Amino acid sequence: MKLFNILLLIVITTIAATVYAEKKDPVKLKFEQLSKQAVDSLLNAHGTPGIITSSWKKAHDKFPSKLPKGEIAKYDLNDDGIDEVFLYLSGSGLCGSAGCHLIIFQHNATLKRLAYKTARSGTNDIFILEGLSDGHRNIAIRLTHYEKDNTIEKNGSNLSDVKKYTLYYWKNGNLRQTNQTILLQSLEDHRD
C-alpha cells in the first residue's frame, strides 16, 4: 500500500509539473526600428488603409526634423506557423488623443497576400496573452503612456511596475477592443 501511494504521488507530481510547464505567461512583444523604406513597403501592401499610408507620408514631409518612427515585432497569433507582423507607427503627425497607429499584418493563404487589422496604441508596450478567441491569441495594449500614477496599490502592496492594459480579442477575423482593463507587470522582452 505504501509503495502504491508513493507511485501515485510521483504520477500526480509528474502530471502537475507537465501542466505547469505548458502554461504560457503573457509575452511582451519586442519591437525593432524599421527604415522608412521598409515601412513604405509594408504600407503599400494591397488593401492597407490609405489614411494610414497618407498620414505616414505627410508626417515625413511636414516634420523633417522630428521624423516619425516605424517599429516592427513578430508573433504567431494563430499557431499556423507564420508570424503575424505588428507595425507600430508613432511620432509627430501620427498620434492623436486616441493613440498612435498599430497595424497587424497576417498572411491570408486563400488570397495569397497580406491582410491587415488596425488598432490604436499609446505605446509599443503590447502583450500577447494566453487566452484564445476566434483561433487567435488575445492581445493587451497599453493605450496611453500618460498615466497619472504608475504606482498601483493592491492589498497594501506597492506594485510600481504594474501597468493598465486594454484587452483586445478576435471576432469573425476582426480585432475588437473591449472595455476590460487588465493589470500586467513588466516582463522580459520577447525574442524568437
* pLDDT tens-digit series, residues 10-22: 655 555 444 443 4
* pLDDT tens-digit series, residues 111-131: 666 778 888 888 899 999 999
Q: Higher model confidence: residue 152 or residue 44?
A: 44
Assess whether pLDDT exceeds 70 at residue 96: yes
Residue range of the domain that includes 179? 26-185
Q: E strands, the chain, where?
A: 27-28, 32-34, 69-75, 84-90, 100-108, 113-121, 126-133, 136-141, 152-154, 157-159, 162-171, 174-185
**Residue 30: strand, helix, or coil:** coil
8 in a structural domain = no
4 in a structural domain = no
Q: Which residues, 6 or more positions from 89, have their beta carbon under 8 angstroms from its beta carbon? A: 39, 52, 55, 56, 68, 69, 70, 100, 101, 102, 103
**Where residue 89 falls among pLDDT bands split at 50, 70, 90?**
very high
15 in a structural domain = no
Domain count, the chain: 1
Residues 57-78, mean pLDDT to the nearest whole number: 93
pLDDT of residue 173: 82
Write out the H or E segment, with its range, that includes residue 14.
helix 2-22
Range of lowest pLDDT (3-12, 19-28, 52-61, 121-130)? 3-12
**Where residue 76 falls among pLDDT bands split at 50, 70, 90?**
very high
Q: Higher model confidence: residue 10 or residue 5?
A: 10
How many Cα neighbours within 13 Å face the side chain of 22?
6
Gap between the Cα atoms of 145 and 173, Å rounded? 28
pLDDT of residue 187: 56
CA distances from 40 to 56, 71, 94, 133 (A): 8, 12, 14, 31
18 in a structural domain = no
Gap between the Cα atoms of 121 and 141, Å rounded? 6
**Residue 4: strand, helix, or coil:** helix
20 in a structural domain = no
Residues 53-79, mean pLDDT to the nearest whole number: 92
Average pLDDT, the chain: 79
Q: Higher model confidence: residue 89 or residue 162?
A: 89
12 in a structural domain = no
pLDDT of residue 140: 93
pLDDT of residue 156: 55
Burial string for 86-102 (b: 16+ CB within 10 Å, else e) reads bbbbbbebbbeeebbbb
**What are the start-end ranges of the H helices in 27-85?**
36-43, 50-62
191 in a structural domain = no
The overall pTM is greater than 0.85? no
